[in-house]
Amino acid sequence: MSEWRAVIDIGTNSVLLLLARRRADGTLEVARDQSTITRLGQGAGASGMLAPEAIARTLECLKGYREVAAAAGATLTAVTTEGVRMARNQAAFLQPAAELLGQPVRLLSGDEEAELSYLSVARETPEGGPLRVLDIGGGSTELVVGEGLELRSAVSHPVGSVRLTERVITADPPTAAMVAAVHDAALTAFRAGPPVAPHPVLHGLAGTVTTVAALLLGLQVYDRARVDGARFTRGQVLALRDALAAEALEQRSARPCLERGRADVIVAGVTILLAALEFCGAEALVVRDRGLRYALV
């Protein structure tokens, strides 16, 4: 059995820690899979700068994650994505983060992020066949098309749940026009990339999509075993989005499995998901609780 690996994925909205190792048969043994919302990309979509308070929150989270990795004797890998990619003051975060972790934080390109997200699903889908994989982040959304382990196209689109919320949603609850504007922005972004042949199923990753599953399953406490592999229709996702959009933030935050740090951006996130389902010609969503951290392990 291989040694323990600790992978930290520093996103625009949340910071993820996966502590895992590969068994002799190639399957993954997960000791810890944790998410902390720090919103590193707070305001960065508009200002192009990482805010000092967002950097401080994220560094504090990294300190805790470093201690977990050290206690397990794990080899540590840290990567970051669109929240830092779009910032002009990247060094203000990357330098202290590297000092804290004792190694550089790797800034992934959009293409690398998309490929890793895809492989995290493809490697755990033994039947192979056509795959459409969507990874909705706070600052960007990756859409990847492939066949088994072979990628055909991988595009990182500059739309995410935090980015579009900050750009478009200015009322609580959002107006119908605001929700429509988010949908149009997401669909326009997808259409700017290569065309995607229609396929009935879209595999979705990351916090927006796993939260959708938890809400549709009616979970009181998040359960990865029930979420991973759950399947829903586009109509179910649409009904949930409309229900969330009709609620004020306080109402959404009171829902089980929807913490405040995601409740304020969930309407935009689910709307991006709906735009992706439309763009891909998919009527079914398969939810996968994994992501690029799994591919890196």
Instruction: Quote the pLDDT of residue 13.
Output: 85
Residue 278 has pLDDT above 90, yes or no: yes
Are 68 and 202 within one domain?
Answer: no
Confidence of residue 296 (pLDDT cuts 50, 70, 90): confident
d(CA 10, CA 24): 29
d(CA 153, CA 240): 30
Instruction: Quote the pLDDT of residue 1.
Output: 57
- Looking at residue 49, the DSSP 8-state letter turns out to be S
Are 103 and 114 within one domain?
Answer: no
User: Residue 106 forms beta bridges with which residues?
Assistant: 79
Q: Count how many domains the chain has.
A: 2
pLDDT tens for 229-251 read: 999 999 999 999 999 999 999 99
Are 74 and 177 within one domain?
Answer: no
Instruction: Quote the pLDDT of residue 130.
Output: 84
Q: What is the CATH number of the domain that holds 53?
A: 3.30.420.40
Sole residue written with tokens 């107006």: 175
Are 95 and 145 within one domain?
Answer: no
Q: What is the CATH number of the domain that holds 129?
A: 3.30.420.150
Q: What is the mean pLDDT of the chain?
A: 91
Q: Last residue of some domain: 88, 107, 126?
A: 107
Closest of 64, 71, 73, 72 to residue 101, by C-alpha: 64
- Looking at residue 46, the DSSP 8-state letter turns out to be H
Q: Last residue of some domain: 91, 107, 123?
A: 107
Instruction: Quote the pLDDT of residue 260.
Output: 82
What domain range is 119 assigned to?
Answer: 110-296
Q: Last residue of some domain: 75, 107, 139?
A: 107
Which has the minimum average pLDDT: 84-98, 141-155, 179-193, 274-288?
A: 141-155
pLDDT tens for 1-33 read: 569 999 999 988 889 999 999 888 877 888 998
State pTM to two decimals.
Answer: 0.86
Are 64 and 82 within one domain?
Answer: yes
Rg of the chain over all Cα atoms, to the nearest angstrom: 18
Amino acid identity of 93?
F
Are 205 and 128 within one domain?
Answer: yes
Are 224 and 96 within one domain?
Answer: no
pLDDT tens for 86-95 read: 899 999 999 9
Give me the mean pLDDT over the 150-164 stretch: 89
